[in-house]
Structure 1
């Protein structure tokens, strides 16, 4: 990216935020995503001239990377020259999108279910580069908290969210269920449900259909016995912790069983990487909107971007 020519940028330090945006600028398939979204763009016959689709995509992605609401994104465009530069709005006299424009673009993606297709475009790029294989799938789910307060206009919590108990702790919110490639750890399938939906209920929906092996933690016990279970898929599910704790370390058979559990755990560990990226790298620890539909659409975008982030070094080497 070129430096914003504002006459105010006196710093020569390459910050982590600039490094991050420059790397993502190189690996995001902008042309393919613009081609995907452009057919749904406003024609501009009424009102102000529309912003380019690439500019709006860049702004939308920055919202995901830096956990910015629509009003916060508008203010950041005014306050942060780096953000204007990344959005290709770095001329001093360029008009900047307001929060309503940013909101309308997000709703356009939701209305035409483009977030799911964005994940598809990203994964097609990764398949072409040989980074996303189809040999096996690891499945898992994570809880995403929702506001439990009733101090709002309706005086109620989000009716589409639900309480869920993990260990001895109760949580309120939704679940993000994902299926990842067992070799690369890249996400190929995403599902969003209320927090009380059992992991095993979504097990089959997280498979892409070509795998012969699937892995899951103890929450997926019985996945192969469900009515919707797919034939030809062998489930490698972790032993329940209480049962594993009873294994005798002096018994050779129990030793082999414990070693097998360790191998299964090493494969399952790949599914934790995308969760770490969206929660720690991108800061997505709470839902931003009311309702499952909007929040699930955001999950598709977040996991598409997490795939690019995890594969960024290979993609940049391929481009070089």
Structure 2
């Protein structure tokens, strides 16, 4: 009797399948405390070698290693994850993720999108990874530099948020020049942030309150105008509702695929809408993020 051949049907991946690995919620201080008591990690026999790492040992601590402002980047980020997952499903090779060892766990430094894509495409199978062997502080900065060079653009909001995070950490190993290089911001931005930090500290704000404050909120409070930030928070919340509605309707990919069609559709929706959007998006001369002068480049 001949045995009937069975063919496996490959699961079709869509934006509806996009999920993100759960975040442990751990902070830099949490990982420092774990490192103080954890045993020696298991490292590859050959330093720098790519290993197949068990998925259960790979963790995510976004407060330490994720430098992107995900709220505003959610749609392009989801599309990026979907494209990577589809490529993995086709058998294409991905660069290994970079992880930091803490005991028997390994925290993603670079490769959050790839990890999410592997979860979509391969489930719980082992994932190719490289283990970082520097200090926790070095790993945190290396994660920032890796994010800024990622194929998904590191937006201005991401760079500003990263610089503010470095300034308020007040790490003695950081300098104006190193923050400029790591976050991709100007000399003036870092100076302004340091001035705002001093004003907040002089006004009696605690380190915890300052750590919880975004750059927009911090500079408005330091300049005595918290009402402006409340309005910005309202705009951000309403914008996120619109983003969620677009995602729930599964329109994000369609809007980005053919931008000329999107432009025509928006004009059909309201003839005034394209002009209003262009006015909102028009670039402004921002002295805090202007191109570096020769003197600043040599700083």
Q: TM-score, normalised by structure 1?
A: 0.25
The answer to which structure has the higher helix fraction is: 2
Q: TM-score, normalised by structure 2?
A: 0.26
The answer to which structure has the higher strand fraction is: 1
Q: Which has the bigger relative contact order, CA under 8 A and spacing at least 6?
A: 1
